[in-house]
Amino acid sequence: MSKACIIGWPVAHSRSPIIHGYWLRTYAISGSYGRQPVRPGEVGQFLASMPALGLAGCNVTLPHKEAAFAAAERKLPGARAVGAANTLWYEDGVLACDNTDGAGFMSHLAASAPGFKARDCGVASILGAGGAARAIVHAFLSAGVHEVRLFNRTRARADELAAFFGPRVQAYDWSRAMACSVDVGILVNATTLGMQGGGGRLEFDVAALNASCVVADLVYVPLLTPLLAAAKARGLTTVDGLGMLLHQAVPGFEKWFGVRPQVTRELRDLLVADLGRS
Ligand SMILES: NC(=O)c1ccc[n+]([C@@H]2O[C@H](COP(=O)([O-])OP(=O)(O)OC[C@H]3O[C@@H](n4cnc5c(N)ncnc54)[C@H](OP(=O)(O)O)[C@@H]3O)[C@@H](O)[C@H]2O)c1
């Protein structure tokens, strides 16, 4: 029986067990996926003990993503680009890691906005310069987006990201987000603004965007964020944050349990029902 888990501190809020539990039932796999609280400073020790605990691997949530990346011996390009890992597994006795957020975002984007073609979109605007923004920048550049514009409250963080990724990524002042997004093919909110329970309000008027712009929000509580609601009302194609959460889980399940699972309507409905209870 294969076992996996998610580690974090705290970890009780994680919805990953719902996702992996659904797939274990759907594919009739005799395995388990649980939540494992791990204290800051104890990540390396926990990861080293996984084989002895019978764990094939784990997901990693805050605040352990950088520590997990540092602990892994084999780092896939998605993790290297972000400097943080969310999925770990043992491969020939070696601890390997990846960061599947960017690929998860792109899979959901393809499903939600089939007309969107990264190579044809020209410019992408990203609000935010944290770990999630970094994963999206890497995914966009890998998919062929010509130019990425970054807007972040703390300008220095956007500058650092732009310097890391090179000339196709440009950093701007936060206050210029609207003015510098009139010609973009996609706008992504990768900040915590709009999040239920104190995320703060995102001041962005979607009237500034052109009619073919796709609007994505990584925030998924609430599912319909004020940004997405305004974009929908303007008739723009929208991409919510929940699909990214579902799709980023696919590679880990495949590594640990040997089946590449599908993100289905039924799974999404299960998560939506759970979000409704929060
Ligand atoms: N859907 C998914 O699967 C998924 C996956 C990962 C993350 N996310 C979501 O993506 C968002 C970012 O996550 P993260 O891991 O990148 O977090 P993070 O590293 O802590 O970054 C947070 C970002 O939000 C910005 N921010 C926070 N408060 C702000 C405010 N009042 N005004 C303007 N900007 C503000 C920060 O700007 P400063 O640099 O100025 O602080 C930073 O750019 C969160 O909402 C998270 O839930 C979703």
| Ligand 1 pocket, mutate which of 13, 192, 217 (most atoms under 8 A from CB) | 192
Give 157: exposed, middle or buried? Use CB within 10 Å, 0-12, 13-18, 19+.
Answer: middle
CA distance 21 to 27: 10
Question: Which tens digit of pLDDT belongs to each residue from 23-70?
Answer: 999 999 999 999 999 999 999 999 999 999 999 999 999 999 999 999
Which residue in the block uniquely carries the two structure tokens 């784990």? 58
- Residue closest by Cα to atom 26 of ligand 1: 191
CA of 17 to the centre of ligand 1 (A): 23
Tell me, what's the pLDDT at 1?
85
Question: Which tens digit of pLDDT belongs to each residue from 104-153?
Answer: 999 999 999 999 999 999 999 999 999 999 999 999 999 999 999 999 99
Tell me, what's the pLDDT at 160?
97
Annotated catalytic residue 255: no
194 in Cβ contact with 225 (< 8 Å): yes
CA distance 161 to 170: 9
Whole-model pTM: value is 0.96
